[in-house]
Amino acid sequence: MQTFEYKITDEVGLHARPAGLLVKAAKQYKSDIKIEYNGKSSSAKALMAIMAMGIMKDAVVKVSVDGEDEAEAFEGIKKFMEENL
Amino acid sequence: MERYTGKKIYEGIAVGRIAWLGKKEQVVERKHTEDTEAEKKRYEDARNEAIAQLRALYEKTKNEIGEADAEIFDVHAMMLEDDGYNDSVNNIIESQQMNAEYAVAVTGDNFAETFASMDDEYFKARSVDVKDISERVIRILSGESEASVDASEPSILVADDLTPSETVQLDKSKILAFVTRKGSSNSHTAILARTMNIPAIINVDVQESWNGKTGILDSDKGIFIVDPDEATSKEYNDRLEAQNQAKKLLLELKGKPNETKSGQKVMLFANVGNLSDIGSAIQYDAGGIGLFRSEFIYLGKDTYPTEEEQFTIYRKAAELMAGKKVIIRTLDIGADKQCDYFELGHEDNPAMGFRAIRICLKRPEVFKTQLRALFRAAAYGNIHIMYPMITSMSEIEQIKKIVAEVKAELKEQGVPYKDAPQGIMIETPAAAVITDRLAKEVDFFSIGTNDLTQYTLAIDRQNAALEDFCDVHHEAVLRLIEMTVENAHKNGIWAGICGELAADTSLTETFLKMGVDELSVAPPSVLKVRKVVRECD
């Protein structure tokens, strides 16, 4: 399992559109990808659950990647978040 | 007979039956089922149908209104693909042996409640989205039709408010007019009403009980009449007849020259925001494209458009207009038009901030890509290049330097291109005041009256509260226009107007007297302005 922390810079946080993009990105990988924030945790592939976490701008989230393509997924999701969120 | 007042959004008269567009609350029946597999299958089919509808709505909105407004439907579709949502529905069907409608309704309510209880306004608003998608699925399950407007005949649409999503789903041939309580002149519905040529007013104290009654909208006077008496009906039916005659007359103006009685000619061009607008420009007989807003190529994307992508679009535009002028404005983002990948950063005063040519000059690589595409496309038609937000001579010098580099590179690489006339937008008071000098450096001027008015009067045009202060015919703006035209002519170049004032027919004669050479307006306004030109002495 690999993990990294990321600070959200998107003005309105992880609401519908950015969360949707994240789900799309996460679904490209076989690995389990989890987002942890404020004591809650959700799969990065579950749109409603991510939105329900209420992740706002400047929130620091922990992302963990676990599975057969985790190295690839780790890089991919990290890059995606840096570019989009 | 009752009279109500409102604020005009788009001119015109409409007489007809009132159709109230209300938000229908669906009543879902709770039914026990033995065959849970069949219910799950019903849900799955309805869900897929809903996703298909949303995808179609996304495409339709993207094409008719724009990508930014369309994105919400993409998100709605993704919500319906969410495992959490689907698991919840299937679980209720399975474990409680309930019908699919009930399971969807409960799931929707639960998720909506979660969002509604969140602190942030933005997240709170998502509860509406969840309700919206759940209702869509329930509608499909119960076989109900989508439109809650009974528009078997063309009707005056009355509603508290109209969202872009509701507006795009309406059958345009059944809409005589829009009458709403909420909205502003800059709202999506307002813009839509203008593009579709549908009379509209807002700020009316609308009532559901009007549904089915006869209504009369006199948008020019800002009056809405419910249950008119016989005399009023007759008066308006006569006026409506006259209005229809006038419309017909306008169409008869197609193909006629834009010439005053004394023989003064003016070029009447169209403003376009994408390639499909060019179709309307041709349909309404525009003599050219006076303003091709290139932003649509950049907006709603994840990354910079490539040179090839841009070249293909510019070439198509040039070819469609078949030798007529196509004046393409270079990138004009910033201020109210934002693109994430430009990473422009937050500004307290974006209207006066890092935008348009300023971005291009600071990021020459972005500018050069567009210029290469433009000069290459110029080989396929009559392309003119126009630079926005100019304030100084030094900007022109910098542009010229970059243009020279671009041409030298194209030449060296053996890429075919053609030189194209280059002009500037006069949309800042600074530029207008130095037009005597600018005119010696460029091939044409086009006056952008929206920004010129906003900057001259120091009035934010997005701020509805300032509408009373915003005198769009302010003498200061008119003098700047006159000065710009004079300075253009003294230096042997032409000057046009491409802002909203160009379509203001109460000013057409004034502009002609000033010697304005070109007016560029929304495609449907071309013939309206032509009519006024032909009536001038």
List pLDDT tens digits, range B475-518. Answer: 999 999 999 999 999 999 999 999 889 999 999 999 999 999 99
Rounded average pLDDT over A59-71: 91
**Phi, psi torsion values for B138, nearest 5 degrees:** -65, -40
| Chain A contact probe: residue of B72, B82, B340 with most A CBs at under 10 A | B82
Rounded average pLDDT over B104-116: 89
B113 pLDDT higher than 70: yes
Q: Is the same domain home to B310 and B368?
A: yes
Q: Is the same domain home to B166 and B273?
A: no
Q: Is the same domain home to B433 and B456?
A: yes
Residue located via tokens 């003016």:
B266
Rounded average pLDDT over B327-338: 86
Provide the 3-class DSSP secondary structure of residue B57: helix
Q: In terms of DSSP bridges, do strands B382-387 and A40-43 run parallel, antiparallel, or are they unpaired?
A: unpaired
Q: Which of residues B79, B108, B141 is at a domain's end? A: B141
- Look up the CATH number of the domain holding residue B270: 3.20.20.60
Q: Which amino acid is at A80?
A: F
- Residue B520 pLDDT: 97
Residue B151's pLDDT band (cuts 50, 70, 90): low
Q: Is the same domain home to B174 and B220?
A: yes
B326 pLDDT higher than 90: yes
The answer as to whether B291 is a domain residue is: yes
The answer as to whether B124 is a domain residue is: yes
Q: Is the same domain home to B175 and B236?
A: yes
Q: Locate B228 and state its tokens.
A: 């008119």
Residue B192's pLDDT band (cuts 50, 70, 90): low
- Whether B128 and chain A come into contact, CB under 8 Å, resolves to no
Using a CB-CB cut-off of 8 Å, the residues of chain B touching A34 are: none
pLDDT > 90: percent of chain B:
56
Among the residue ranges A26-35, B152-161, B264-273, B385-394, the one predicted with the least confidence is: B152-161
**Residue B321 and residue B278 in contact, taking contact as beta carbons nearer than 8 Å:** yes
B40 pLDDT higher than 90: yes
The answer as to whether B250 is a domain residue is: no
The per-residue pLDDT of chain B, averaged, comes to 88
Q: Is the same domain home to B215 and B276?
A: no
Residue B247's pLDDT band (cuts 50, 70, 90): confident
Provide the 3-class DSSP secondary structure of residue B386: strand
Residues near A71 by beta carbon (within 8 Å), at least 6 away in sequence: A2
Q: Is the same domain home to B110 and B168?
A: no
Q: Locate B401 and state its tokens.
A: 């330097």
Please give the DSSP secondary-structure letter assigned to residue B75.
Answer: H
pTM over cut 0.80: no
The answer as to whether B84 is a domain residue is: yes
Provide the 3-class DSSP secondary structure of residue B16: strand
The answer as to whether B319 is a domain residue is: yes
Provide the domain limits for residue B131. Answer: 36-141
The answer as to whether B402 is a domain residue is: yes
**Residue B359 and residue B333 in contact, taking contact as beta carbons nearer than 8 Å:** yes
B226 pLDDT higher than 60: yes
3-state helix, strand, coil in chain B (%, to 5): 50, 15, 35
Q: Which of residues B73, B107, B141 is at a domain's end? A: B141
| Chain B contact probe: residue of A24, A48, A53, A79 with most B CBs at under 10 A | A48
Count of structural domains within chain B: 3
**Residue B417 and residue B375 in contact, taking contact as beta carbons nearer than 8 Å:** yes
Rounded average pLDDT over B513-534: 93
Q: Is the same domain home to B517 and B372?
A: yes
Active-site option among B339, B473, B498, B536:
B498
State the Cα torsion B163-B168-B172-B177 to the nearest 10°: 10
- Look up the CATH number of the domain holding residue B63: 1.10.274.10
Q: Is the same domain home to B162 and B125?
A: no
Q: Is the same domain home to B363 and B451?
A: yes
Q: Is the same domain home to B491 and B367?
A: yes
Number of CB atoms found within 10 A of residue B73's CB? 22
Q: In terms of DSSP bridges, do strands B7-10 and B200-202 run parallel, antiparallel, or are they unpaired?
A: antiparallel
**Residue A30 and residue A67 in contact, taking contact as beta carbons nearer than 8 Å:** yes
- Count A/B contacts: CB-CB distance under 8 Å: 52
Q: Which of residues B72, B107, B141 is at a domain's end? A: B141
Please give the DSSP secondary-structure letter assigned to residue B334.
Answer: B
| Nearest-angstrom CA–CA distance, B217 and B243 | 13
Domains (range + CATH), chain A: 2-84 (3.30.1340.10)
- Residue B188 pLDDT: 52
ipTM: 0.81
Q: Is the same domain home to B101 and B179?
A: no
Residue B126's pLDDT band (cuts 50, 70, 90): confident
Closest CA of chain B from A6, distance in Å: 18
By C-alpha distance, which of A42, A59, A46, A37 is closest to A19?
A: A46
